[in-house]
Amino acid sequence: RQKLTQYNTIDDAVDLLRKSHNIMVITGAGISTSLGIPDFRSKGTGFYDKVRGLGYETGEEVFDIDNFDGNPNIFYNLAGDILPDQQRFSPTHGFLRLLQDKSRLQTNYTQNIDNLERLAGIDEERLIQCHGSFATASCRKCHNEVPGEDIFGDIRAKRVARCKLCAENLAKQPMKKQKAFKLRKNDWEDSSDDDSAYDVPEAGVMKPDITFFGEQLPNNFFERFTDRDAKTVDLVVVIGTSLKVAPVSEMPNHLPHNVPHIFISREPIKHVTFDIQLLGDCDHVVYELCRRAGWALKHEMIPPN
């Protein structure tokens, strides 16, 4: 994509916000860091720097579905750090809500799993949680879905959560709870000391419904983007993301060329061309945009003038 040369300054960004009514906002972990929730890739403070070496070589491996199925302990040891424990949202979430209240927000595509957009009051039909969220959890074995809170205690205690429904069903079938002999080649040998000879039926492991690497994105992501938003949005604003994870990273390049692109984040990115890059703390940037637009962004984390 080539830059649209008529848009350059913060005042151009304000004009665009004021005249657009079908805005797509793509958000990432940077919009929640002011609440104390770490992002993933910031050097020193990001979740991935913290977890590197605590079981895996790279942080991303914590969110690899095969790794989770192979050994869920590592995820459960680390996930407490990104589990939101508060009922607060940031001024940037407040900005999204303001755009919605002014009938300008068409869709917020969030990569965040903290579910704080819902707390800020973003309508369910305008919110696409591209990487799922902690709002629900499901059993890897029987797919039983439960409210996310049901496993928060286990996550905080660094204990692998097991499926209660599986456990109930196993309890109803006492015979199946017994160790069952596996068919083995050397079945004439005494296998009584060999654990691999047995299969112990166990309740399935619960996994928060966040999208792991190797898993499908929610269906509504593709439907909403291709069938509707890619054809109708009049402005895209990308906030607080390194845009390193596909397919979200590819979205800005799949919009029509004449849709202006604004980027708000601490660090510039080079792999996508934006018309306007507003670099800095996103809470400050959105506050300044609102001030210039004459919109009141009210939030307890904005210092009074």
Q: Which residues are catalytic?
A: 131
DSSP string, 201-232: --PPBEEEEEPPBTSPPPHHHHIIIIIIIHHH
Helices (H), ranges, 256-302: 282-293
Which range binds ligand OAD by CB under 6 A, 31-39, 66-74, 226-234, 253-261? 31-39
- Coil vs helix vs strand at 282: helix
Quote the least distance from Cβ 82 to ligand OAD, whole Å.
8
Question: Is 229 one of the binding residues for ligand OAD (CB under 6 A)?
Answer: no
Among 25, 49, 33, CA closest to 283: 33
Which residue's CB is nearer to ligand OAD, number 96 or number 282?
282
Interface residue with ligand OAD among 46, 72, 84, 94 (CB under 6 A) is 46
Among 290, 263, 291, 255, CA closest to 279: 263
Question: Is 96 one of the binding residues for ligand OAD (CB under 6 A)?
Answer: no
Q: Would you give the DSSP letter of residue 120?
A: T
Contact string 146-185 vs ligand OAD (x = CB under 6 A): ----------------------------------------
DSSP string, 233-261: -SEEEEES----STTGGGGGGGS-TTS-E
Question: Is 281 one of the binding residues for ligand OAD (CB under 6 A)?
Answer: yes
Size of the site for ligand OAD (CB under 6 A): 27
Interface residue with ligand OAD among 23, 28, 255, 299 (CB under 6 A) is 28
Quote the least distance from Cβ 181 to ligand OAD, whole Å.
40
CA dist 160 to 71, 205, 236, Å?
Answer: 10, 7, 40
Which residue's CB is nearer to ligand OAD, number 26 or number 255?
26
Interface residue with ligand OAD among 17, 25, 30, 287 (CB under 6 A) is 30
Quote the least distance from Cβ 63 to ligand OAD, whole Å.
5
- Coil vs helix vs strand at 78: helix
Helix (H) or strand (E) run with residue 155 in it: helix 149-156
CB atoms closer than 10 angstroms to residue 181: 11
In angstroms, the CA 75 to CA 178 distance is 29
Question: Is 29 one of the binding residues for ligand OAD (CB under 6 A)?
Answer: yes
Interface residue with ligand OAD among 39, 61, 114, 117 (CB under 6 A) is 39
Interface residue with ligand OAD among 106, 107, 133, 242 (CB under 6 A) is 242
**Where on the chain is the footprint of ligand OAD (CB under 6 A)?**
28-30, 33-34, 39-42, 46, 60, 63, 111, 113, 131, 210-211, 240-242, 244-245, 265-267, 281-282
